[in-house]
Amino acid sequence: MALDLYELITILKLNNCYVIGFSDGANIAMEFAVGYPNIIKGLVLVGGNLRPLGMKLGVLFDIFKEYISSYRKSEGLRIRKKLGLMLWEPKISYSDLALLTLPTLVMAGEKDLIKRKETMKIASLIKGSKVVFIDGEDHFFIFNKPSIFNKMLEVWIYSV
């Protein structure tokens, strides 16, 4: 998927843009930035994780239960592909991420399904990144409260 993003940016001639990723999209954005750090201006990572265990264990267990129960459903294969992505991916290299020097905003909800220490780890690996936790919000705050996300994004972009 990171290669797909590279091809899209190249075809559309969007070099020097910001890449914004939410959840699995944040994971793809990190993989993309590691592979192609010189063609983008910066990253915004919302609710991303470096490893499946970066999610809270209760969430991971619920995903696994749904994965197992998908074997009894007619659309099970489609569901398993989606859930399998969350159970076994990503596997983002700490050392590769630590090479990034792109301006980066790392965001998560205070009640996110991603562990707080995982969000902090991402921010600590990317030199000069800024981390923000949105008070009282969960993983989906960018959809539930888009004005909060948009304001944080606007303030950050004008500060870099």
Q: Are residues 152 and 105 in contact, defined by beta-carbon separation less than 8 angstroms?
A: yes
Give the residues of the chain that fall short of pLDDT 50. none
Spell out the domains of the chain, with CATH numbers in brackets. Answer: 2-51+90-159 (3.40.50.1820)
**pTM for this entry:** 0.92
pLDDT digits (tens, 9 = 90+) for 68-113: 999 888 888 888 988 998 999 999 999 999 999 999 999 999 999 9
Q: Alpha-carbon dihedral of residues 40, 46, 50, 53, nearest 10 degrees?
A: -170
Name the residue among 136, 106, 144, 150 with its Cα closest to residue 124: 106
158's CB contacts (< 8 A; 6+ apart) are: none
Q: Which residue has the tokens 């969007």?
A: 14
